[in-house]
């Protein structure tokens, strides 16, 4: 690959972005492997990209995720818009199982000649693998360090609040926030990584990656609920009306209608501690049975929680501070959210736990990339987590170390680009 600052045969071709500072020039185009768009690629393995809503929100969860956020480094609004056009064109190709390829991307890019970006090639022989790419906007797109960099602050929705600091939060800046979020989900981890890697390359000179988290989810056959690393079924409860809980409606600004708010939290689980805790206490902590997933005292995983049930001593069957009681929307007066969490496993790390028995040493850096979608984070995540952060029994085993809140605009119609209505001032 030739540096954009080199003199030579490539200098007649334009850099990826005029302001790119020069990473990729056109020299390699055509020489690097690109994945052909064949009929085989247009199989049901591909999730539709264009539509009223972005894919990857209510889509059936894939086995792998690569969640990334970016900081915008440009001062120019037109650069941000060009990036979103380019990302849209690239995402349409990637989710169809195709390589990113300059000529095709030109459709989403208002300059000529097209951006000279070769595909990195590691997904060349792989199928679309139900890849979805979901874009979100962080608070920094609207205001950063008190500055309205792109003239968008007046369009920041009232619902798009800054997340408060919750009790016990140990968020580190290196894993928190971001001006843009991109979540790639696929049944093949290499396909998900390729997507983010490609989008990061296309962002050169305009945005740079801030933090990222991979995740996995092994769904058992037969449509059974997958388990998290605590060994419990996770995802049993779903909103009664998913569409109503997730999509922003007439109450939101035009540019967010059909979109959704994403809250991500990287939650470390003290697995060493959990594994040495009796299963009976684990079940009291969650409020459900470990094996069946049924609410305590019941047999069916999908039975209503029955929070009012008491035992012969008049104690609640599901403890006062059990996770499901503290998280239950009806019980706490919150709005329902759609959870779409992934397990993560980042090897080992030196850690000092914050709860008894205060383990200290080289421990698993593993847990849950908690992700939820809702039409209003004030009544959804913020309301739900307020008391949970203080009183949930689960807190003895978990630490929130990173995350963010992102406004995911609605889906894109062919010819448009993600977030178009925001940039048109609607
Ligand atoms: C490592 C962290 C977490 C773990 C291991 C975990 C695990 C679980 C499990 C096993 C269930 C029961 C099965 C189900 O309905 O899916 C559950 C339910 C739930 N969790 Fe979590 N969770 C975590 C963090 C959170 C957070 C941070 C929130 C939101 C602030 C949350 C919100 C919920 C909700 C709303 C339910 C459904 C409650 C109901 O039945 O109405 N969870 N979680």
**β-bridge mates for residue 345, sequence order:** 366
Tens of pLDDT, residues 190-225:
999 999 999 999 999 999 999 999 999 988 888 899
Counting residues of the chain whose pLDDT is more than 90, the rounded percentage is 82
Q: How far is the CA of 327 from the centre of ligand 1 (A)?
A: 7
Higher pLDDT, 220 or 47: 47
The pTM for the full model equals 0.89
**HSE on the CB side for 290, CA within 13 Å?**
14
Higher pLDDT, 259 or 117: 259
What is the predicted pLDDT for the residue at 112? 55
The whole-angstrom separation of Cα 295 and Cα 148 is 48
What is the predicted pLDDT for the residue at 426? 61
Q: How far is the CA of 324 from the centre of ligand 1 (A)?
A: 6
Average pLDDT over residues 120-136: 95
Buried (b) or exposed (e) across 342-377, using 16+ Cβ within 10 A? bbbeeeeeebebeeeeeeeeebbbbbbbbbbbbbbb
Evaluate the omega torsion of the peptide bond into residue 49 and state whether it is cis, within 30 degrees of 0.
Answer: no
What is the predicted pLDDT for the residue at 222? 83
* Ligand 1, pocket-test mutation among 324, 393, 401, most atoms within 8 A of CB: 324
The pLDDT mean for the chain works out to: 88
Task: Name every protein residue with a CB atom under 6 angstroms from any ligand 1 atom.
Answer: 228, 230, 232-237, 265, 267, 269, 286, 288, 305, 323-324, 327-329, 367-368, 370, 381, 384-385, 388, 394, 398
What is the predicted pLDDT for the residue at 4? 30
Higher pLDDT, 112 or 217: 217
């Amino acid at each position: 690959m030739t540096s954009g600052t080199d003199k030579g045969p490539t200098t007649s071709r334009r850099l990826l972005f005029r302001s790119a500072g020069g990473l990729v020039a056109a020299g390699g185009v055509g020489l690097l492997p690109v994945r052909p768009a064949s009929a085989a690629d247009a199989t049901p393995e591909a999730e539709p990209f264009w539509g009223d809503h972005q894919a990857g929100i209510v889509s059936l969860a894939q086995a792998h995720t690569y969640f990334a956020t970016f900081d915008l480094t440009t001062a120019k609004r037109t650069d941000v818009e060009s990036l979103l056009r380019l990302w849209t064109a690239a995402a349409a190709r990637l989710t169809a199982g195709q390589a990113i390829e300059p000529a095709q991307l030109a459709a989403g890019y208002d300059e000529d000649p097209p951006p000279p970006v070769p595909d990195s090639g590691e997904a060349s022989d792989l199928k679309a693998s139900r890849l979805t790419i979901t874009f979100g906007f962080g608070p920094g797109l609207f205001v950063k360090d008190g500055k309205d960099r792109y003239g968008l602050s007046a369009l920041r929705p009232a619902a798009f609040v800054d997340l408060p600091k919750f009790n016990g939060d140990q968020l580190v800046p290196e894993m928190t926030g971001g001006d843009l979020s991109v979540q790639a989900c696929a049944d093949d981890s290499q396909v998900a990584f390729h997507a983010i890697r490609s989008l990061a390359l296309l962002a050169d000179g305009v945005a740079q990656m801030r933090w990222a988290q991979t995740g996995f989810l092994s769904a058992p056959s037969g449509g059974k609920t997958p388990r998290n690393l605590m060994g419990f079924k996770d995802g049993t409860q779903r909103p009664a009306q998913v569409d109503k809980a997730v999509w922003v409606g007439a109450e939101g600004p035009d540019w967010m209608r059909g979109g959704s708010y994403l809250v991500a939290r990287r939650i470390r689980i003290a697995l060493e501690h959990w594994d040495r805790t009796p299963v009976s206490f684990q079940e009291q902590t969650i409020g459900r049975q470990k094996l069946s997933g049924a609410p305590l005292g019941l047999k069916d995983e999908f039975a209503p929680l029955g929070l009012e049930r008491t035992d012969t001593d008049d104690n609640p069957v599901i403890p006062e501070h059990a996770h499901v009681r503290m998280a239950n929307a009806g019980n706490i007066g919150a709005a329902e959210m759609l959870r779409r969490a992934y397990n993560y496993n980042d090897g080992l790390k030196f850690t000092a736990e914050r709860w008894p028995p205060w383990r200290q040493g080289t421990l698993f850096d593993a847990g849950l990339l908690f992700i939820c979608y809702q039409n209003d984070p004030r009544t959804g995540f913020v309301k739900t987590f307020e008391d949970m952060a203080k009183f949930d029994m689960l807190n003895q085993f978990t630490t929130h170390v990173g995350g963010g809140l992102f406004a995911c605009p609605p889906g894109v119609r062919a010819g448009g680009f993600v977030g178009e209505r925001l940039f048109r001032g609607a």
